Amino acid sequence: MMSPKIDTIEYSAPDQSTVDQAAAILDRGGLIVAPTETRYGLLARADDREAVSRLYGIKGRPMTMPTAIFVKDVNGISRYGRLNAAARRLAEKFLPGPLTLVLEATASLGEPLVVDRKIGIRLSSAPFIQSLVETVKFPVTATSANISGDQELETIEEIARAFGGKIDLYVDVGVLDNPVSTVVDASEDNPVILRSGAIAESEILALLDSQLI
């Protein structure tokens, strides 16, 4: 088995050749580890069922547990989920950024991307992810780059020890130990915070001017 490739890029200005290499790997059904604005993510082509299954398999994550997809702009969200008024306000205020919006799905991607007719959507502020989703012509899904149930990993060295050659490309920007994304279910008119994270609940409450359930 080939050893995993470790690439080092500038976090503020990712090299396009690295982005192109990552895009080509995803295009053919490969897996990559890449930096988001929170932690490292384990990425696959979202419309490739075999690639998504392999991603879940190496993590030991049940296929009934949802994951999110990346989009390149706020308008792109509506390709995959329904933006009601509350969701649109959240998106316009906090995206791009560490917010995962759970919306009523409008795309037929199947589990684990669509669970109970809902889909998680990320619009990342990380330069590498922004460049990647601008480059590819397909949706990209990501989950945390760790074994399911284990602690979050902060460096490529730790992640490579966990996954080794099961990953086709590692993109290294050093230590990433930022808070995880805040997850808000905005599939209905009264949004619900599912996971606390980088965006404080008080900020979300102040924006919506209503008490969340």
Q: How would you class 49 by CB atoms within 10 Å of its CB: exposed for 0-12, middle for 13-18, buried for 19 or more?
A: middle
In degrees rounded to 5, what are phi and psi of residue 87? -65, -40
C-alpha span between 162 and 136 (Å, rounded): 27
Residue 124 is part of which domain span? 6-208
For residue 147, tell me if it sits in a domain. yes
Q: Is residue 112 a part of any domain in this protein?
A: yes
Question: DSSP readout, 145-185?
Answer: SS-TTSPPP-SHHHHHHHHGGGSSEEEE-S---PPPPEEEE
**What is residue 1's predicted lDDT score, i.e. its pLDDT?**
43
213 located within any domain: no
C-alpha to C-alpha distance for 66 and 141, rounded to whole angstroms: 10
**Res. 4: pLDDT tops 70:** no
Give mean pLDDT, residues 135-164.
92
CA distance 159 to 23: 20
Q: What is the pLDDT of residues 6-56, one digit of tens each?
A: 554 554 566 888 899 999 999 999 999 999 999 999 999 999 999 999 999
Question: In this predicted structure, what is the pLDDT of residue 5?
Answer: 52
Inside any domain, residue 110: yes
Q: What is the pTM of this model?
A: 0.89
Q: Which residue has the higher pLDDT, 3 or 209?
A: 209
Residue 1 forms part of a structural domain: no
Residue 112, domain CATH? 3.90.870.10
- pLDDT tops 80 at residue 188: yes
CB 35 within 8 A of CB 126: yes
Q: What's the number of domains the chain is made of?
A: 1
Q: Can you read off the two tokens belonging to residue 126?
A: 């990380």
Q: What is d(CA 184, CA 40) in angstroms, rounded to the nearest whole number?
A: 20
